[in-house]
Structure 1
Amino acid sequence: MTGSGTAAVLGVIGGSGVYDIDGLENKRWVKVETPFGDPSDELLTGDLDGQTLVFLPRHGRGHRIPPSELNFRANIHALKQLGVTEILSVSAVGSLKEHLPPGTFVVIDQFIDRTFAREKSFFGTGLVAHVALGHPVCNRLGDLIEEALRELHVPHQRRGTYMVMEGPQFSTIAESELYRSWGCDVIGMTNMPEAKLAREAEICYATVAMVTDYDCWHTDHAHVTVDAVIKVVVANAGKARSLVSRLAPKIGVRDGTCVQGCHTALDNAIMTAPDRRDPAMLGKLDVIVKRALAG
């Protein structure tokens, strides 16, 4: 349950290179079972400067799972079970803007979800809910991330729109130009329905999109080599580790629930009448709905 007396727990979703943080103490890999199946991997828990951290390898250690086969519901549920109250999602993306070259970090504030082969909600027949998603990320958490990036002198942009495609193939040039015409800043394959599920789980969620290359629209960079991209990925992972280290002590200063309402997102969102709620669904979603139905 997230409430005024609940300590902040920072969850980090990203690649394995993010987890090798100097000073992380009491490290332990934990296997978590959820009503929605297995998450991508065991979760690494630990403490950094007094702040509890929980790391989830989004694609599993060794990058075993492609985007469309990720069990997003199990991943978010597992984080919720371990008490996570704020999530930093770290994702590699392609740039759709000339002024966002490889190595730039974008603190996302909007998404366009073009995925179509993924389960996108914890809720369903027997227990229906509609959460607000006009502002799909936590601006309070985004402000803390921006502050940390400034302190680290990491090139970044505070706001941007993340175009989430299904994959696993990359875009055609026509698709890339279409997304650019929509005003999108970056493109990737992983942050939806992750952000939607975090909102349903009443967890603050923010995305740092790490640019690895220009998408195929950029003719001057159309033939970038895998080696070149990997070099950027490795450099970005180092910056991401520094970001987590700098962000961790800032998370603990939260007093009470999120002022944006992330921690109370299910208030007035559950539509099914109490006498028509499926007991089996209530049991399955107990971790998700416990706070909202407590009264």
Structure 2
Amino acid sequence: MAAVKLGVIGGSGVYDIEGLEEASWVTVSTPWGDPSDQVLTGRLGGTPLAFLPRHGRGHVHSPSDLPYRANIDALKQLGVTHVLSVSACGSFREEMAPGDFVLVDQFIDRTIRGGKSFFTAGCVAHVSLAHPICAELAALAARAARGTGVRVHEGGTYLAMEGPQFSSLAESHMYRDHWGADVIGMTNMPEAKLAREAELHYASLAMVTDYDSWHPDHGEVDVTAIRKVLAANGANARATVAALAGLLEAGAGCSTGCAEALDYAILTAPEKRDPALVAKLATVAGRVLG
């Protein structure tokens, strides 16, 4: 098995990782543009780690403007094999309360942003997203999170909405009552899709900050209240990452086929492939494109 390197994409409230040995912020250039920020590299519990603040230090990027392709490409350039995505979310379930962590296992993508795939005209590919999360990585992340004392829910459907505005009351009820979503956020798509195309093991740790707008006793989303929950969630998220790094030292299996996602996905005949696009795909798809 290839050596494990953990990549962490930090969401709202998580802009750095403490305790890294040999820590260094490095600049990574990608053919898809610049990533959200420099990447913090080092070792944590003996495991190589690369941390990327999704919104940039100081929270300068909106969910709709994030360079999703550049972020995934940058992590893979650095040798990352496993990605833990950390993000804030709203909850559609009473039992998934603010302060809880949810290891989601499904997505509904309602985003309309561009850049949802590395593969465009000139090199077409279709990867499977029936099971978009690496089950083994998610299980290890749940185990790590429980060690912090936070309440953890394993499994749940994440509704990815187009931001930066929060959902309307009608939308909130639709997502909860008719679509069966469990949590709502703005950033896990197209991130999860791109991670699968890049053959990375991907898991999503959604940190509940609020009840969206459906809950009769909580009203509309309040950013001030969210900030208070984020402060506590951020500390628990960093502790989870530290514990996960230790659990990954021995390696992790995969029943989802994450690292072989492109084996039969590329449909464009070799002689019809756009050389310029193939060159851009060197990092994410070099294993199958040669």
Q: Which residue identity does 1:218 align to in structure 2? A: H
Conserved 8 A contact 1:7-1:252:
no
Give 1:133's aligned residue.
Answer: 129
Distance 1:286 1:205, change over 3 A: same
Q: Which residue identity does 2:217 align to in structure 1? A: D
Give 1:208's aligned residue.
Answer: 205
Mapped partners of 2:191, 2:45: distance in 1: 27
Aligned partner (choices 177, 182, 185) of residue 185 of structure 1: 182
Q: Which residue identity does 1:236 align to in structure 2? A: N
Mapped partners of 2:251, 2:199: distance in 1: 15
Mapped partners of 2:201, 2:95: distance in 1: 29
Cα drift, residue 20 of structure 1: 4.6
Root-mean-square deviation (CA), in Å? 1.5
Mapped partners of 2:142, 2:162: distance in 1: 28
Conserved 8 A contact 2:145-2:240:
yes
Q: Which residue identity does 2:182 align to in structure 1? A: D
Conserved 8 A contact 2:147-2:240:
no
Mapped partners of 2:82, 2:212: distance in 1: 30
- CA offset digits 1:236-289 (Å, max 9, x no partner): 00000110010001112226x734210111000010111111111111111112
- CA offset digits 1:29-67 (Å, max 9, x no partner): 011110000001111001111101100010111000101
Give 2:193's aligned residue.
Answer: 196
Conserved 8 A contact 2:134-2:255:
no
Structure 1 window deviating more from structure 2 (123-132 vs 285-294): it is 285-294
Structure 1: stretches of 5+ with no match in the other structure? none
Mapped partners of 2:32, 2:143: distance in 1: 36
Aligned partner (choices 233, 242, 245) of residue 245 of structure 1: 242
Instruction: Please state whether the residue corresponding to 1:166 is helix, strand or coil.
Output: coil
Conserved 8 A contact 2:212-2:221:
no
Conserved 8 A contact 1:16-1:61:
no
Cα drift, residue 80 of structure 1: 0.7
Distance 1:226 1:274, change over 3 A: closer
Mapped partners of 2:106, 2:115: distance in 1: 20
Instruction: Please state whether the residue corresponding to 1:13 is helix, strand or coil.
Output: strand
- CA offset digits 1:125-184 (Å, max 9, x no partner): 111100010001100101101111233321011000000000111111000000002111
Give 2:103's aligned residue.
Answer: 107
- Asked if 1:148 is matched to 2:150, the reply is no
Distance 1:226 1:125, change over 3 A: closer
Q: How many residues are aligned here?
A: 289
Mapped partners of 1:191, 1:276: distance in 2: 32
Mapped partners of 1:229, 1:17: distance in 2: 10
Instruction: Please state whether the residue corresponding to 1:237 is helix, strand or coil.
Output: helix
Instruction: Please state whether the residue corresponding to 1:18 is helix, strand or coil.
Output: coil
Distance 1:65 1:19, change over 3 A: closer
Give 2:215's aligned residue.
Answer: 218
Conserved 8 A contact 2:101-2:152:
yes
Give 1:176's aligned residue.
Answer: 172
Q: Which residue identity does 1:46 align to in structure 2? A: G
Structure 2: stretches of 5+ with no match in the other structure? none
Mapped partners of 1:7, 1:88: distance in 2: 16
Cα drift, residue 103 of structure 1: 0.3
Structure 1 window deviating more from structure 2 (272-281 vs 162-171): it is 272-281
Conserved 8 A contact 1:41-1:60:
yes
- Asked if 1:161 is matched to 2:149, the reply is no
Please give the TM-score of this superposition, normalised by the length of structure 2. 0.96
Aligned partner (choices 231, 235, 245) of residue 232 of structure 2: 235
Q: Which residue identity does 2:121 align to in structure 1? A: T
Mapped partners of 2:30, 2:85: distance in 1: 20
Please give the TM-score of this superposition, normalised by the length of structure 1. 0.94
Distance 1:288 1:49, change over 3 A: same
